Structures are given as C-alpha cells and as structure tokens.
A and B are shown apart, each in its own frame.
Chain A
Amino acid sequence: MELTDGDLIARVLVDDDQHAFGELVRRHQSSVRGLLRQLTRTDVAIADDLAQETFLRAYKNIRSFRGEARFSTWLYRIAYNCFRENARRRKEFVGIDEEQLQSEHDPQVADPALRHDLMYALSLLSLHERSAILLCCQNGLSHEEAARVLDIPLGTVKTNVLRGREKLKRSLAAWGPD
C-alpha cells in the first residue's frame, strides 16, 4: 500500500527519514517546478534553482507544517515566497522588474509560432493574475487556498482569476484557430 503524504511527513518528523522526504520530493517536484517555470516565464534554470530552494526550506521547516492545509498547498506557498524573494533580488541587483519583463513579451514581436500557445497567452498576464490562474485553474486550488499561498485577500484572488480568465479568452479568441 502506498504511503500518504502524512505518513511520509511523520517519518521525516520522527526519524528524520531522508528517504521519506525524497519520496515527497519525487511526488511533488513536477507541480512545483511547473508552477515556478510559469512564474519565471519558462526560465528553466532559475525555476529549478528555486524549486531546489523550495524543497530545502520545506525540509528545514517541516516541523512548522501542522497539516491544516494540504502538503502541496504548503509547498506552493514556500515556492511562491522563493520566487518573490528572487524577483526582488533581481530587481535590486540587475534592475529587472515586472514591467520590463512584460515588455519583453510583447505579442507583436514574439515568435508567431508561439502566438497560439495557451501558455504563451498565460505569460502575457500580469504576475498577480498569472499566479492566481496557475494556482486555481491549473493546480486546482480553491480561492481560499490560493489566498493563503499568495498572502493576499480572498476578494483579490477572485478578481485576479476573473480578469485573468477574461484576458486569456480574449487572447485566444483574437488569435483564432489555424
């Protein structure tokens, strides 16, 4: 019988069982790396570094996980914090901010082959809309869970999901079928 996340976490807590933690990493690496790749706009190297940082922090702080939320939700929260800290550092040291990144993805200058890509449409959304859409629509979190992950009010999450969906629909409709 396959062990649940809760069983594996108990093994990590009681025996400091790193194999059990390895199983948790194996189970959740795809969704965490996928989320970070979307947040960093498919910068795979940075996203994977942040994913490693996410799991290291999760291991060091696993005693603070009390099982009130799903383990994956807790991981998304750590991942989002890692992403925000990295974005802040980049802004401070390199001077890259969200607006600049936005302009780098101008649909007028982008590869036309990417125009019909839903993920590309997603990358055109603002960071807050993109985060809300990724968590709620792609990863299946409730609005309440997303609000906890993003540390913003519930109403703001709902607004961002609504706006994000509208923009995605508009982008896809404007590009039209081949």
Chain B
Amino acid sequence: MDEKQQEDSLDRQLREAAPYIDDEGFTARVLQQLPPPRRGRDSLRAVILLGITLLASALAYVLSDGGRFLVVAMARLTALPTLWLLALAFGSGFFFMAGGVVVALSKASEPRP
C-alpha cells in the first residue's frame, strides 16, 4: 500500500471510529439556558429612545428661540473666506472617511467569541 492509500485508510478509520453521538436531551438543555428572546427588550428600547429623542428635540427648539441659532450659524458660515470653507469641507470629509476605514478594518477579521 502506498503512502497516499495508507493516509486515506487512516483517515477513514478515524472517521469510522467516531460514531454519531445521540442527542439524548442535549439540545433541550442548551435551549433551556438561552437568554429570553430579545424582541420584547428591543421594542421597549426603541420606544425609550424615540421618546427621549422627541423630548430633547422639543426642549432644544424651545430653548433656542425657535431654532434661531441655526440661522445664525449658517450666516456665519457663508461669511467665511472660500479657502476656509474648502479646508473645512476637506477636513470633515477626511475625518468621516478615516472613521469609515477604521470601522471597516475592525470588522474585516471574524471576531473570536
């Protein structure tokens, strides 16, 4: 018997020597230990987040005199020199691109549980 046949024979013997293990309640035991389904928790979290967002928006609107600070900020922005505006646009573009690259790289390798 050549080397390859010997290896195949050994592999076959190894596979045959590992019989199927009957479940015998194993799956049931695992399912019993699982945390409760998260659907209920998720919808509660969504309601809380939405409520807080609406409350914060209403508060900001009232405190900022009807959103006047936005108009003021835009007016200041248009008054900036063109070069400054360009630098600001490139800077913010670069910032968000770098953030995206970092997130993509961190997700590139399958995390180890």
Contacts and interface: CB of A to CB of B under 8 A. Distances in A.
Interface string A36-64: 01100000000010011001111111001
Interface stretch (B24-32, B51-59, B84-92): B24-32
A34 B18 contact: yes
27 contacts: A15-B39, A16-B38, A18-B31, A18-B37, A22-B27, A25-B27, A25-B30, A25-B31, A26-B23, A29-B23, A29-B26, A30-B22, A30-B23, A52-B26, A52-B33, A57-B113, A59-B34, A60-B113, A61-B113, A64-B110, A64-B113, A68-B110, A69-B110, A118-B13, A137-B10, A151-B112, A165-B7
Given A119-B18, A168-B10, 11 more contacts: A25-B26, A29-B26, A30-B22, A33-B26, A52-B26, A60-B35, A68-B110, A122-B14, A137-B14, A138-B14, A138-B18
B27 A56 contact: no
8 closest A-B pairs by beta carbon, nearest first, are A61-B113, A30-B21, A64-B111, A138-B14, A137-B11, A16-B37, A25-B27, A55-B30
B82 interface: no
B10 A165 contact: yes
Nearest to A30: B21
Q: How large is the interface on B (under 10, 10 to 19, 20 to 34, 35 or more residues)?
A: 20 to 34
A29 B34 contact: no
Given A66-B110, A78-B113, A33 B21 contact: yes
A76 interface: no
Contacts of B26: 25, 29, 33, 48, 51-52
Contacts of A78: 113
Main secondary structure of the interface of A (DSSP, over half): helix
Interface string A54-96: 0111111100111011000010011001000000000000000
A133 interface: yes
A126 to B, nearest CB: 17
B6 interface: yes
